[in-house]
Amino acid sequence: MAVIGALLVVGGVVLLFVPGPGLLVVVFGLALLVGISAGLARALDRSEPVVRWWAARAKAWWSQASIATRIATCAFGAGIAGVAVYGAYRLWIG
């Protein structure tokens, strides 16, 4: 189970930068790993309030941002994803 969980986490991280359900795959991988690791379960429990706080701040920022800022943010994110995909392509394909 640990190997499958680790592979799901790694695969999910890759899918964060390419089209696919990356976050969902990471969550499933972590769920498998938490089932066999009490230390990881405690660490995730401690990190949840921090992640929720950052998510709330991001949501508030997004709702107050202008359309131009939202477009620029999406374009920047798409550019970063494009660079990551190109880097992965060059790394794996040559």
The reported pLDDT for the residue numbered 56 is 96
Predicted TM-score (pTM) of the model is 0.55
pLDDT digits (tens, 9 = 90+) for 81-94: 888 888 888 888 86
- Sorted by where each begins, the domain ranges of the chain are 1-41, 49-94
- For residue 15 the two structure tokens come to 């899918």
Tens digits of residue pLDDT in 18-76: 777 878 888 888 888 888 888 888 888 898 899 999 999 999 999 999 999 999 999 99
Give the pLDDT band (50/70/90) at residue 2.
Answer: confident
Q: At what angle do helices 67-92 and 2-17 cross, to 10 degrees?
A: 120
What is the CB neighbour count within 10 angstroms for residue 8?
A: 21
Alpha-carbon gap, residue 40 to 44, rounded angstroms: 6
| Residue 38 structure tokens | 């009490």
Report the pLDDT value the prediction gives residue 94, as an integer from 0 to 100. Answer: 67
